[in-house]
Amino acid sequence: MAGFCLMIYSITVFEKHAKHSSTCLLVSSFFVQMLAVFNEVYGSLHYVAAVPHFLTLSLTAIIYWYEKKSKFAITTFLAVMFTWFLYSIGTFNMGIAVPETMSKLVLLWIMWSGIKILLKKES
């Protein structure tokens, strides 16, 4: 359901706000739907859907930062990359769920962009 809602947002309101970012977000939302279909039970298929999702979601943050000069988007991107770096050097003794969960921080700026768009319409 999250992938579907993200897809609708990216092709409607968000596209008018940030055209290039919305295209990238649309691709990412497709991979969210693939993650729902191919959960952890599917093993490598889940990995094949997860990696492009996280990459395109991060790429969306970079494009949004460039397109809208959003410090919030680039800050969340850098925080997520730092978490993945800590995971890759073995700082976390837990599984991959920690950096995956932290990767969802990128969604904060997407929600913030929606709030900003909503507040502009009400003004």
102-123 pLDDT, tens digit per residue, is 887 778 888 888 888 888 875 5
d(CA 81, CA 86) in angstroms, rounded, equals 9
CA dist., res. 28 & res. 16, Å (int): 18
User: Between residues 94 and 25, which one has the greater pLDDT?
Assistant: 25
Give the residue among 52, 77, 47, 59 at the shortest CA–CA distance from 21. Answer: 59
Domain encompassing residue 109: 2-122
Taking the whole predicted model, whether its pTM rises above 0.75 is answered as: yes
Residue 27: pLDDT band by 50, 70, 90 thresholds?
very high
By C-alpha distance, which of 18, 46, 22, 19 is closest to 32?
A: 46
Quote the pLDDT of residue 123: 55
Domain tally for the chain? 1
pLDDT single digits (tens) 60-105: 999 999 998 989 889 988 988 888 888 888 876 777 777 778 887 7
Taking only Cα atoms into account, the Rg of the chain, rounded to an integer number of angstroms, comes to 15
For residue 37, CA distances in Å to 8, 30, 47, 58, 84 come to 18, 11, 12, 21, 24
Q: Specify the pLDDT at position 122.
A: 59
